[in-house]
Structure 1
């Protein structure tokens, strides 16, 4: 085992075209004499991405407040059907300025035995406050998700499909070159597809995952991310949001990275839930058992959940859409799940997601986790998580996460190789940043050909081997000013300010 891991470590450290580790002269991002952000670049042009595009409408846009269309009062017994009927009635209304209407729940207790579903654009479900005297969704009956906002997007290739000609596209880039730019126009949505090749898996040291005597597959297939073209100059396509991964032609041959124009049907937009609390009976057991859950938002661009208190749900919140804001969500657990496998209270699985001003109290839990093949930017900001859990990207190569001014007393913030954990989760995260955050401990590991950074963070630094092995220790990611906060106080807010201005 030691020889195997030593071989992988040497492979990742000695190949000539790998990124150099940080030097003392490189700060990677800092304020210049005029108070503006100044970025350093790797030898291949990689930089810390601009994370300010995360959130509703792409960041910097206030959550809308629309008038109530239908107002409900609580009834005795199961309220699910009444709430669903009101939502369905609003769903039949025409869109006006992007919205159909709002279902407002008056103060009181609403027993809910079934999932409430929003399946049309422009619908808001709101309560009258998240306190004890506000609106309470009391979950009962068989375990279920309280609220689901879910579109059914279908993607169609409706234009040119072109090979990327760049030998290397650095992380943080906002443009790329294709063989032929004709047929692409500003405003087109394009899908960028990077094949997962055996040579890349081997380069990442993920070709030897074995658990219980069985080979584990880290990643197969493709890595995709969608962007909107903002300009076409010859064969160069300018993109609306920075790329949060690098694209190296050495590891994408023979197919190469492709760009194709796509159209989407069935995707929702402008939906939100707000101003109530969800209460589940206390739940224990393992994560493989069914539990009450809080809400799911997916198949959507532009959505939000704000001012919601959640009690005793397991695997509480899952986000799979784009441009979503969670603001002022609080999750409380009376008990903890059993076993080594931990639930994720907030699972961020899509680009341009913003989680801010949130609070979680619970043990044996991932406060924030990412899924497989997720691309950012994803921002977790101004959050407090108590009880001994973790912010830990979870599996199979997510990229572009910012943990900004978060506090995890009694727990950890880990950018790591999870190796054979799970079913071969392997390298879980790359091109990600922790900024002015505090925790009991930090694990910051550097994947081959990528970087992870931690700036101004306060807490013990851990060095570890790949899970289940004692050696060798994996290469560390980049620490800047550890145990001493840096300026600006918030990277996301400063990036947003410089991109959009004070207004």
Structure 2
């Protein structure tokens, strides 16, 4: 049809008649709109209603793709603050670790404001030598540079973390608050369910949704039958009890509503579920690491006795890392450990890691926590650039992140990560969600209820575990591969290599709706 329009317009030669010009323009615009309209498509799992809102299509058991909008700093209900500078430091060109640590310790003594903020320490342009680690252990402290001209150099030898922000203690159950979930089945995506009793519960209570592991669940997953390899460990129930941190937002009779969805179905046949009120004394918050370049000294491309993590968070919530670049570290730019919750990592880069290219190295942006967001990040020469570890409780999100010169794959790395959205991830390597079998010490099934949305990769494997959920590849542009281990159930693929997915970003659309 376009050729016909062109031939029609060509008849006029040097057009002088404005009407003829307008006719040709309208014909071409109309044809372009027709092509655009024909290319757009919606997932059969999430549709856009006439009013512009998302409609989640449930399966026979009620499972849907979860709502991932409430992850990151304060669950997207607050903007990352512009914290006032209360101390300014300049580089000496020598060991500046003690000076920066002293400033951190002094700021920790200051009474925080009502919002929990104490203030920002500004590191002026220059090179700061850090032979050990900078440690932040009090809430409300921001460490800020002036962009890549503020350079923290991990000097000397030995694996270590250059910036460590961590509180103390652990997640603890409040005695006599445990209650059985009454539903026989609570589906993925649900935010409401019934309890055997709501006595003693209130809106705003911090709770754990507890999903116990059972021997029959592990057996049905065939994770007690992993083919033996070097150091292979079969899964056992005591190692796979999951604690999802949530907040009660409504109570209606025996039904409670929580702030974030269920990301692994709670099933009577596999032990059902419980809730209990919880505390985490010693966990810190309102920590910011901003606008810094971190570099590690190294001795050769495969040297491993040097800076390992540029930034490491643990026992921390409602904090952020923004505008950070790392170079030459052996493991990561950012490493969020298990007790890291509601962290936003944005606009950051992991460049030129130095290590052997084997297991346990080059996890550029690693997340083992829950309710965390990685957005607009970049990695090169990593092995697992956007990755979750073992028994990671979601939801978590990686959005609009890019990986180049990838040495391995992106995705859940081992042992049952639950509820991760990989949205608009681009890599020249692979994205894999699969049974990893006896890799490592018996990784087995790497993840469940993982969603690849509008991602681009060289190759992609998506498998479904035998029970307890599925994995999605929606609008993925890549070569579809079977995976390391054959004969596993194939995951859900929808419109492979087809452009025009609506919405282009599931995460952004879900956030938009959450704010309306």
Question: Shared fold (TM-score greater than 0.5)?
Answer: yes
Inter-CA distance 333–219: structure 2 relative to 1 (3 Å threshold): farther
Task: Tell me the residue number matched to 1:111.
Answer: 129
CA distance in structure 1 between the aligned counterparts of 2:109 and 2:130, rounded to whole angstroms: 23
Task: Tell me the residue number matched to 1:6.
Answer: none
Task: Tell me the residue number matched to 1:326.
Answer: 345
Matches within 5 A, 1:20-39: 27-39=44-56
Q: Secondary structure of 1:70's match?
A: strand
Deviations 1:82-132 (A, max 9, x none): 0000001000000103201111101100011110011001110001112xx
CA distance in structure 1 between the aligned counterparts of 2:299 and 2:287, rounded to whole angstroms: 29
The answer as to whether partners of 1:190 and 1:227 remain within 8 angstroms in 2 is yes
CA distance in structure 2 between the aligned counterparts of 1:213 and 1:391, rounded to whole angstroms: 24
Q: Secondary structure of 1:313's match?
A: coil
The answer as to whether partners of 2:374 and 2:399 remain within 8 angstroms in 1 is yes
Inter-CA distance 283–392: structure 2 relative to 1 (3 Å threshold): farther
The answer as to whether partners of 1:225 and 1:375 remain within 8 angstroms in 2 is yes
Q: How much does 1:341 deviate? A: 5.2
CA distance in structure 2 between the aligned counterparts of 1:251 and 1:292, rounded to whole angstroms: 40
The answer as to whether partners of 1:158 and 1:263 remain within 8 angstroms in 2 is no
Task: Tell me the residue number matched to 1:260.
Answer: 276
Alignment partner for residue 235 of structure 1, among 246, 249, 254?
254
CA distance in structure 1 between the aligned counterparts of 2:360 and 2:140, rounded to whole angstroms: 37
Alignment partner for residue 193 of structure 2, among 176, 179, 182?
176
Task: Tell me the residue number matched to 2:212.
Answer: 195
Deviations 1:12-59 (A, max 9, x none): xxxxxxxxxxxxx97111222332212111111100000001111102
TM-score, normalised with respect to structure 2: 0.86
TM-score, normalised with respect to structure 1: 0.88
Task: Tell me the residue number matched to 2:61.
Answer: 44
CA distance in structure 2 between the aligned counterparts of 1:433 and 1:164, rounded to whole angstroms: 27
How large is the Cα RMSD of the aligned pairs? 2.1
Task: Tell me the residue number matched to 2:409.
Answer: 390
Inter-CA distance 448–202: structure 2 relative to 1 (3 Å threshold): same
CA distance in structure 1 between the aligned counterparts of 2:299 and 2:462, rounded to whole angstroms: 33
Q: How much does 1:166 deviate? A: 1.2
The answer as to whether partners of 1:50 and 1:172 remain within 8 angstroms in 2 is yes
Q: Could you list the runs of 5+ residues in structure 1 that have no partner in the other structure?
A: 1-24
Deviations 1:188-216 (A, max 9, x none): 11112222111000111111114237652
Matched, 1:437 2:455: yes
Q: How much does 1:484 deviate? A: 1.3
Task: Tell me the residue number matched to 2:422.
Answer: 403
Inter-CA distance 446–98: structure 2 relative to 1 (3 Å threshold): same
Task: Tell me the residue number matched to 2:285.
Answer: 269
CA distance in structure 2 between the aligned counterparts of 1:334 and 1:430, rounded to whole angstroms: 29
The answer as to whether partners of 1:208 and 1:215 remain within 8 angstroms in 2 is no
CA distance in structure 2 between the aligned counterparts of 1:425 and 1:477, rounded to whole angstroms: 18
Alignment partner for residue 344 of structure 1, among 338, 360, 363?
363
Alignment partner for residue 482 of structure 1, among 488, 496, 499?
496
CA distance in structure 2 between the aligned counterparts of 1:215 and 1:76, rounded to whole angstroms: 48
Q: Secondary structure of 1:83's match?
A: helix
Q: How much does 1:292 deviate? A: 2.8
Q: Secondary structure of 2:91's match?
A: coil
Name the larger-Rg structure.
2
Inter-CA distance 95–201: structure 2 relative to 1 (3 Å threshold): same
Q: Secondary structure of 2:502's match?
A: coil
More helix by share: 2
CA distance in structure 1 between the aligned counterparts of 2:83 and 2:361, rounded to whole angstroms: 38
Matched, 1:315 2:315: no
CA distance in structure 2 between the aligned counterparts of 1:390 and 1:179, rounded to whole angstroms: 43
